[in-house]
Amino acid sequence: MPRSLRSPDRVPTLRTARLTIAPVRSSDADDLEALFHDPRVHRYLPYERRLEPGGTFVARARRGVQEGTGFRFVGRRRDSGEFVISVGVFAIDRWDRSGELGYAVARSQWGRGYATEAVTAVVDWSMRRLGLHRVEARVQWGNAVSQRVLERLGFRPEGTLRDAVLSSRGFNDLRVFGLLADEWRRPARRRRVNLSGAGRRAG
């Protein structure tokens, strides 16, 4: 098991062309709550997100770091500090070196390539620094935009979990996407996204 997965207390701040992507902290609680309570955003997210206070999310993020089971970040614009995205890897299995990817962008920032930019940085850190072998993402049927983000990064469709999630609209399928470390290392994966500085440690 890589040392990074055994002592996961060092979570970096990642920098991309337009974003600073820092570990979740208490001061992010209000922005996270506003994000997850927006119906256009939570439509395709796990049901409990829309009910929980931002502070609960922050506490879970902290626990994830302490236990080495999850690393959640908040991405803000470098120029204005404006909140853009919640993104992270969770459900980390240290033995299998696998984790699940999650992300959501503030409604006012959709369609500007921010998800692609931030998810690229977090996947790159997860594969190269944290030492994951496999990153998985589960997308509800109908969420074409999220699927497009994953496909652009090189995630491959691996199958469908039928009626795996219950929402206000009834049961829905989950499509599973996966990416392996070897596939990520191929340079074509990072096309069009400036990752200079990603992986630098905070402070």
Ligand X SMILES: CC(C)(COP(=O)(O)OP(=O)(O)OC[C@H]1O[C@@H](n2cnc3c(N)ncnc32)[C@H](O)[C@@H]1OP(=O)(O)O)[C@@H](O)C(=O)NCCC(=O)NCCS
Residue 160 structure tokens: 């469908």
Q: Which of 143, 155, 158 is nearest to 45 (CA)?
A: 143
Give me the helices (H) in 111-143, please: 114-125
Query: Quick check: helix, strand or coil at residue 91?
Result: strand
Among 21, 74, 149, 153, binds ligand X (CB under 6 A): 149
127 binds ligand X (CB under 6 A): no
63 binds ligand X (CB under 6 A): no
143 binds ligand X (CB under 6 A): yes
Residue 197 structure tokens: 């500085």
In the bound complex, what is the minimum distance in angstroms from residue 21's beta carbon to ligand X? 13
Query: Quick check: helix, strand or coil at residue 95?
Result: coil
Closest residue to ligand X, based on beta-carbon distance: 115
Residue 114 structure tokens: 């921010």
Q: Report how far residue 80's alpha carbon sits from residue 11's, in angstroms, rounded to the nearest whole number.
A: 23
**Whose structure tokens read 């491959």?**
156
24 binds ligand X (CB under 6 A): no
122 binds ligand X (CB under 6 A): no
Give burial (CB, 10 Å; 0-12/13-18/19+) of 111: exposed
77 binds ligand X (CB under 6 A): no
Range in contact with ligand X (rule: CB under 6 A) among 1-9, 64-72, 100-108, 194-202: 100-108
* Residues within window 101-120 making contact with ligand X, judged by CB under 6 A: 103-105, 110-116
191 binds ligand X (CB under 6 A): no
188 binds ligand X (CB under 6 A): no
19 binds ligand X (CB under 6 A): no
Question: What is the contact surface with ligand X in residues (CB under 6 A)?
Answer: 41, 44-45, 103-105, 110-116, 139, 143-146, 148-149, 152
